[in-house]
Chains A and B, each alone.
Chain A
Amino acid sequence: MSRKVLVLGEVRDGSLRNVSFEAIAAAKTVAEGGEVVGVLVGTSVSVLGAELIQNGADRVVVVEDEKLNLYTSDGYAQALLAVIDQEKPEGLVLGHTSLGKDLSPRIAGKLASGLISDATAVEVAGGNVVFTRPIYSGKAFEKKIVTEGLIFATVRPNNIAPLQKDESRTGEVSNLSVEIKDLRAIIKEVVRKASEGVDLSEAKVVISGGRGVKSADGFQPLKELANVLGGAVGASRGACDADYCDYSLQIGQTGKVVTPDLYIACGISGAIQHLAGMSNSKVIVAINKDPEANIFKVADYGIVGDLFEVVPLLTEEFKKLKVHS
């Protein structure tokens, strides 16, 4: 059964986020041969339409309005609902990002639709579109289907492979005019703390520090390693509580959930609180002085040693590798 599926292309600092390309790949599975329609909401975003199409969307609908400059649930809900009203899709996929988490339940509520949040895989099985999602902080998984409304899901960044980008793909980019009214919550100020460098939740490599980094300066070698690998720096709750870094870096039960290809835990003991945020990473490396540390139980590779010795050596070794390859 083929379906028309909408995908919201999420724009951050003028660029599309990777998770939107992953959402397109998920939408292709949901569509079962039907049309995948990208949706762009904001100001001057139509230029990004071609990129959505190169990444697998068949065409793109754009809603532009000054009031959509910054994300608000009121503004975006009006825009997206207007596109849904025009396109009458059978499916809808968003990234499970701050925006997706905030907006999707509202759309589902409005349409009295089911919604599967934070999916890490999607397949068609036994005539159903089946989503897989972690529960109990990734200690278990469930497979779920929508039984009423749109086949509607948000997808966790870094889990569903995007389609191969094809620069020869073309398609229609059309505008839909929507009157945006009644924003009941207005953004007065945006304070940037986390967005320097690579986005933690989408990073392919995460270098994370715990109490073992000992101070704010202790994060410096981790940052250097992250730079060499094009990764992001994260932290355990212990490091945040000790004021070595901002809570925006916290990975864990409280904090962010990350699933990078490579997670390097430096001076992190591996409390359950922390494991909940990173245990589904593809490859985990632990560096810790304590050979009994819990983190070694989930690590694929471990080095027992002082992170201040090991991390700079690793940085040098990766630099050599980058030069050779």
Chain B
Amino acid sequence: MKIYVLMKRTFDTEEKISIRGGKINEDGAEFIINPYDEYAIEEAIQVRDAKGGEVTVISVGSEESEKQLRTALAMGADKAVLINTEDDVENGDQFTTAKILAEYLKDKDADLIIGGNVAIDGGTGQVGPRVAELLNIPYVTTITKLEIDGTNVTVTRDVEGDSEVIETSLPLLVTAQQGLNEPRYPSLPGIMKAKKKPLEELELDDLDLEEDDVEAKTKTIEIYLPPKKEAGRVLAGDLNDQVKELVHLLHSEAKVI
């Protein structure tokens, strides 16, 4: 099976966020594989181990994404592809990323494409379904279980806590939800092996794409931090009185009840 994983390098969510020059300040911040994409990588490896084939992890980004791609290789992926847009795309959006990924994937005869259901930085969840639409293959988002039998696929999809059992077929794109699996940590031998695994670097030119072809269809006009919350009130006194006071405050001051 030809399995492709869509991976994004993201800001670690534990990081403090600050803004400089109208953008999120990335200096000194830790970057990680988007946590939902880790589920995708793990699932791809498990499917390959069960069914045979090859796992290729693709990322659209800058040279810095190489580190996260190497981590994916160390987990067990076979190949990595970095589509470096640093010189060509200044302000891309989800259309941009999806278009580039689809252009790369269109002649690869992928059987299965797996991504995270959302990236924790931008948080749109658009790229997976957009890629599937561009490739004209079916997709199922937020999956928690994947079973493949020949070309028949049964997936369980998380729908706001309920689940749906869906029957579909390969080729297919799915996006991973928490609960799909428990992503492994790269082992030391895995890390050593990863250094020798192929990591191909491409630019828009290599995909016969012009900058205009991938121009964003949305524009960010401002980024700001939410106003700092004032320290709350911790109540004091007899517990019964505290509870009475709280109910009174919620009713009369906050007016939410």
Residue of A nearest to B16 (CB): A139
**Contact, CB under 8 Å: B13 / A137:** yes
**Contact, CB under 8 Å: B162 / A113:** no
**Contact, CB under 8 Å: B216 / A304:** no
Partner of A283, one of B19, B223, B256: B256
Closest 9 CB pairs of A and B: A194-B161, A248-B161, A114-B217, A109-B133, A184-B138, A105-B129, A185-B168, A105-B126, A117-B124
Decide if the interface of chain B is mainly helix, strand, loop or mixed: mixed
A166 at the interface (CB under 8 A from B): no
**Contact, CB under 8 Å: A116 / B218:** yes
Residue-wise interface mask of B (132-156) relative to A, using a CB-CB cutoff of 8 A (1 in contact, 0 not): 1110001111100000000000100
**Contact, CB under 8 Å: A145 / B221:** yes
Residue-wise interface mask of A (126-161) relative to B, using a CB-CB cutoff of 8 A (1 in contact, 0 not): 001010011111111111111111000000000000
B205 at the interface (CB under 8 A from A): no
Set of chain B residues within 8 Å of A250, measured between Cβ atoms:
178
**10 A-B contact pairs sorted by A residue (CB < 8 Å):** A108-B126, A109-B95, A136-B11, A139-B17, A140-B24, A140-B223, A142-B224, A187-B166, A302-B235, A314-B246
Residue of A nearest to B225 (CB): A140
Assembled-state Cα–Cα distance A249/B232 (Å): 26
**Contact, CB under 8 Å: B123 / A118:** yes
Q: A140-B19, A140-B226, A285-B246 are in contact. Are A300 and B254 (CB under 8 A)?
A: yes
**Contact, CB under 8 Å: B130 / A108:** yes
Residue of B nearest to A322 (CB): B257
**Contact, CB under 8 Å: A115 / B242:** no
Partner of B162, one of A97, A192, A284: A192
User: How many chain-A residues does the 8 Å CB contact rule pick out?
Assistant: 94
Assembled-state Cα–Cα distance A251/B132 (Å): 29
Set of chain A residues within 8 Å of B168, measured between Cβ atoms:
184-186
**Contact, CB under 8 Å: A190 / B223:** no
**Contact, CB under 8 Å: A302 / B141:** no
**Contact, CB under 8 Å: A194 / B162:** yes
A181 at the interface (CB under 8 A from B): no
Residue of A nearest to B93 (CB): A114
State which size class the interface on B falls in: 35 or more
Question: In angstroms, how far is the closest chain B Cβ from the Cβ of A290?
Answer: 12
Question: In angstroms, how far is the closest chain A Cβ from the Cβ of B116?
Answer: 11
B14 at the interface (CB under 8 A from A): yes
Residues of A with Cβ closer than 8 Å to B? Answer: 70, 73-74, 97-98, 101-102, 104-106, 108-110, 112-118, 128, 130, 133-149, 184-195, 199-201, 205, 229, 246-250, 253-256, 261-262, 272-273, 276, 280, 282-286, 291, 296-305, 309-310, 313-314, 317-318, 321
Set of chain B residues within 8 Å of A110, measured between Cβ atoms:
133
Residue of B13, B19, B98 with most chain A CB atoms under a 10 A cut-off = B13
Residue of A nearest to B139 (CB): A73
Chain B residues numbered 106-144 whose CB sits less than 8 Å from any CB in chain A:
118, 120-130, 132-134, 138-142
Q: A185-B140, A300-B232 are in contact. Are A117 and B130 (CB under 8 A)?
A: no
Assembled-state Cα–Cα distance A209/B104 (Å): 45
**Contact, CB under 8 Å: A112 / B250:** no
Set of chain B residues within 8 Å of A148, measured between Cβ atoms:
215, 217
**Contact, CB under 8 Å: B130 / A105:** yes
Assembled-state Cα–Cα distance A140/B161 (Å): 26
**Contact, CB under 8 Å: A184 / B160:** no
**Contact, CB under 8 Å: A142 / B13:** no
Assembled-state Cα–Cα distance A188/B166 (Å): 6
**Contact, CB under 8 Å: B217 / A113:** yes
**Contact, CB under 8 Å: B165 / A144:** no
B159 at the interface (CB under 8 A from A): yes
Beyond A74-B138, A256-B160, A283-B254: 13 further Cβ-contacts under 8 Å? Answer: A98-B159, A105-B130, A105-B133, A118-B123, A135-B223, A136-B13, A139-B225, A141-B223, A185-B139, A188-B167, A254-B35, A256-B161, A303-B234
Set of chain A residues within 8 Å of B134, measured between Cβ atoms:
109
**Contact, CB under 8 Å: A195 / B225:** no
Partner of B13, one of A74, A104, A188, A273: A273
B247 at the interface (CB under 8 A from A): yes
